[in-house]
């Protein structure tokens, strides 16, 4: 028996490729940091902003591939625990899947998604780091990285809106 009205929505390749390239660029940016009043705030959570605004119509398999490979690249570039960012990015993308959002992006949905992303990332990074290194995570460092990424989030959302409007249909943004 076939149900004609239950076809999955069309997943496109170009939004996944564009978001994947942006995630690789954000992984390269994660190497840096900024010193403010003698306190260093890293850019480690910047790649999570790209995952937070991932296109809803992106091809699922290609998205998983880009998310995983960008995580491995981020670990390699930052000199961190190999596979940790790949695990964090893949789990966050898998748990908070963008294509399952019922409505287009709005301010409230992005804020809620961002809070869930940061909470899940801090738990995963803290637990995996504790298992490997045997020391408690530095929550002050997590907080500084979270503040820097939260400040950058509106710029990422704006850039994503411009790219979506120029390159793809603006369905994800309600346009």
Q: Dump pLDDT digits (tens) for 107-144.
A: 777 888 888 888 899 999 889 888 888 888 888 888 88
User: Which residues touch 142 (CB under 8 Å, ≥6 apart)?
Assistant: 122, 125, 126
| In a domain? residue 72 | yes
pTM of full prediction above 0.85: no
| In a domain? residue 159 | yes
Q: How many domains does the chain have?
A: 1
Which range marks the domain in which residue 129 is found? 10-31+43-169
| In a domain? residue 174 | no
| In a domain? residue 96 | yes
| In a domain? residue 122 | yes
| In a domain? residue 4 | no
| In a domain? residue 1 | no
| In a domain? residue 37 | no
Q: Which tens digit of pLDDT belongs to each residue from 26-79?
A: 888 888 777 777 777 778 888 999 888 888 778 888 989 999 999 999 988 888
| Backbone torsions φ then ψ of 39, nearest 5 degrees | -115, 130
Percent of the chain with pLDDT over 90: 13
Strand 33-36 versus strand 39-42 pairing type: antiparallel
């Amino acid at each position: 028996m076939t149900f004609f009205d239950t076809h999955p929505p069309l997943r496109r390749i170009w939004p996944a490729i564009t978001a994947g390239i942006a995630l690789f660029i954000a992984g390269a940016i994660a190497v840096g940091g900024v010193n403010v009043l003698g306190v260093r705030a890293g850019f480690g959570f910047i790649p999570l902003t790209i995952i937070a605004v991932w296109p809803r119509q992106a091809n699922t398999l290609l998205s998983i591939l880009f998310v995983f490979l960008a995580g491995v690249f981020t670990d390699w570039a930052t000199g961190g625990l190999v596979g940790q960012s790949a695990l964090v990015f893949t789990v966050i993308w898998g748990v908070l899947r963008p294509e399952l959002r019922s409505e287009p992006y709005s301010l409230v949905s992005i804020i809620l998604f961002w809070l869930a992303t940061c909470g899940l990332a801090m738990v995963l990074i803290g637990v995996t780091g504790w298992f490997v290194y045997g020391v408690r995570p530095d929550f002050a460092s997590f907080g500084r990285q979270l503040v820097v990424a939260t400040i950058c989030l509106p710029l990422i959302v704006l850039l994503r809106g411009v790219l979506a409007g120029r390159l793809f249909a603006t369905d994800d943004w309600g346009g």
